[in-house]
Amino acid sequence: MSKLLEKIATYIIDRKLRDLRHKLSELDSEKTRRILKKVNANIIDKIIKYKFYKTLKHCSVDSPFYKKKLTNLMRELNYKNCLSILETLPFTYPEDVSRSPSSFLTVPLTDIAAFHFTAGTTGKRKLLYVTREDLDLIAYNYSLGFLWNGINRNDIAQIMYSFDIWQLGLLVQDAFRRIGVKTIPAGNSITLREQQNFIEEYNVNVLAGTPSYIYQLARAIDLKNSAKEHVKAIMLGGEGLSKTRRNYIQNRLGGEVFLGYGLMEIGGGVASECSMHNGMHISTTTIPEIVDIKTGEPVGLEEHGELVLTSLDRYGMPFIRYRTRDVTRFIEGDCDCGLKLPRIDYIKGRLDDRVTIGTAEKYYPIVFEELFEQITEIIDFQIEITNLDGRDNLKILVKADKPSKDVERKIIEKIYSISGLRNDIEKTGTINPLQIVFTDELEKSPKRKIIIDKRLVD
């Protein structure tokens, strides 16, 4: 394809994409669903290819970090072959961003509209540069997920995300407002009783927050039947969600739970659940890959691995093949909801949260969550790991309705049901006898943290 024809083709595609985005921003959830159902795999492939081509050209010219990595590849790059070189490109690691965020900046600092920060649950917060175009994209991504799940301008949403430096509350509020949804920015610093009062007094029918906070709300309040029946959707994100907690939230608060997945590094919302509740659809603003954690090679069909994302519409600070540290898998086949976008499974865990205990056994937090949720007396818990006398020491901090020896016995039984842990406590001696501590306060963080590994600082 000649340079002139390439320019004409990219111009036409760009116009078509702008027209599609305009149609999808007309605040009508039913119209949005009809348009999205017409978008087939062939159209999605063309959109992805075009956006990736533009991203590579943008990064190779304007990003100090990528310029030196892409120079040689750009000589052979064209619209037709761009996707074929994806797996030959180097990975980008979170440490690269933490070390030098400005090296990813692709516009003058005067064009930056805001500084965003990651939640910082796995280390130092990362600084992210955001242009006005990026802010529009973040709102668009979130609002598209809301519209697909039937949220419309007749709804009233109560936002219970943090409005602090993490900024998720502000971003979700902007997305709701852009599709005409009235919002109550309650945040997560008022009392749970006050949250209930807002829901009941202002006829709130959409709730939004992290799964752990909404779960605590569900346990603490008893909504009037009229208010509970009025709630139609509970939009959750920022953390994983077990089936037990999902069912509990729906039974206590009413409404249907929809789980989303996103990264501030990639521009907010990346994937969202549909009414089928069988994984999450990835938006066309990213290219997803799932690779072997150790080798970086693509995993087999529906095998678990690390999710790698390439941002396609992030203008001020794009990322290519970003290692998310999140473990998931692709779900093959078409979804019964009719949306043709690819799906990933619910996040199995974060590599940062995976811990090695005892004789080098590796455990994800969800292993303990699924065990302890079978003990109805437990409200919440954390596992604190330290070094003591040369052995791993597990202190299980438990917030319970009625602390008792019986609850303590149930916890020990559950831990001992993991044969590796039981063996390391009773036989190898690499883990000290368990410590169970009942408490009213657990360590707080923007996202729920189940395992706190203090051996890293011992």
- Backbone phi, psi, residue 335, to 5°: -85, 145
Are 296 and 391 members of one domain? no
- What is the per-residue pLDDT for 435? 94
Question: Is residue 332 situated within a structural domain?
Answer: yes
Are 75 and 168 members of one domain? no
Give the least confident one: 129-133, 143-147, 361-365, 454-458: 454-458
- Backbone phi, psi, residue 390, to 5°: 80, 5
- What is the per-residue pLDDT for 10? 62
CA angle (262 as vertex; 258, 265 as ends), nearest 5: 170
Are 256 and 345 members of one domain? yes
Higher pLDDT, 349 or 229: 229
Are 346 and 380 members of one domain? no
Task: Give the single-character DSSP code of 298.
Answer: B
Question: Is residue 151 situated within a structural domain?
Answer: yes
pLDDT, average across residues 17-44: 71
Tell me the residue range of the domain where 18 lies: 3-84
Are 223 and 317 members of one domain? yes
Question: Is residue 93 situated within a structural domain?
Answer: no
Give the least confident one: 18-27, 269-278, 329-338, 382-391: 18-27
Contacts for 103 with CB less than 8 Å, ≥ 6 apart: 63, 64, 65
Residue 302 sits in a domain whose CATH number is: 3.40.50.12780
CB 218 within 8 A of CB 253: yes
185/268 Cα distance (integer angstroms): 18
Are 247 and 369 members of one domain? no
Are 330 and 359 members of one domain? no
pLDDT, one tens digit per residue, over 345-382 is 999 888 878 888 988 678 888 889 888 988 989 999 99
- What is the per-residue pLDDT for 87? 92
Residue 428 sits in a domain whose CATH number is: 3.30.300.30
Higher pLDDT, 52 or 351: 52
38/19 Cα distance (integer angstroms): 15
Instruction: Tell me: pLDDT of 287 over 80.
Output: yes
321/245 Cα distance (integer angstroms): 33
Helix axes 168-178, 132-148, angle to 10 degrees: 70
Are 186 and 79 members of one domain? no
pLDDT, one tens digit per residue, over 169-198 is 999 999 999 899 999 999 998 999 999 999
pLDDT, average across residues 137-141: 89
Give the least confident one: 28-32, 139-143, 259-263: 28-32
- What is the per-residue pLDDT for 4? 55
Contacts for 286 with CB less than 8 Å, ≥ 6 apart: 266, 270, 309, 310, 311, 312
- Binned at pLDDT 50, 70 and 90, residue 233 comes out as very high
- What is the per-residue pLDDT for 384? 93
Are 262 and 345 members of one domain? yes
Question: Is residue 110 situated within a structural domain?
Answer: no
- pLDDT averaged over the chain? 89
Question: Is residue 280 situated within a structural domain?
Answer: yes
Are 298 and 209 members of one domain? yes
- What is the per-residue pLDDT for 199? 98
Q: What is the pTM of this model?
A: 0.84
Identify the domain boundary among 84, 118, 148: 84
pLDDT, one tens digit per residue, over 64-109 is 999 988 888 877 788 788 888 899 999 999 999 999 999 999 999 9
Identify the domain boundary among 294, 328, 350: 350
- What is the per-residue pLDDT for 458? 44
Are 152 and 241 members of one domain? yes
> Quick count: other Cβ atoms within 10 Å of Cβ 49?
17
What are 202's two structure tokens?
């202002």
pLDDT, average across residues 273-293: 94
How many domains does the chain fold into? Answer: 3
Instruction: Tell me: pLDDT of 264 over 80.
Output: yes
Are 387 and 341 members of one domain? no
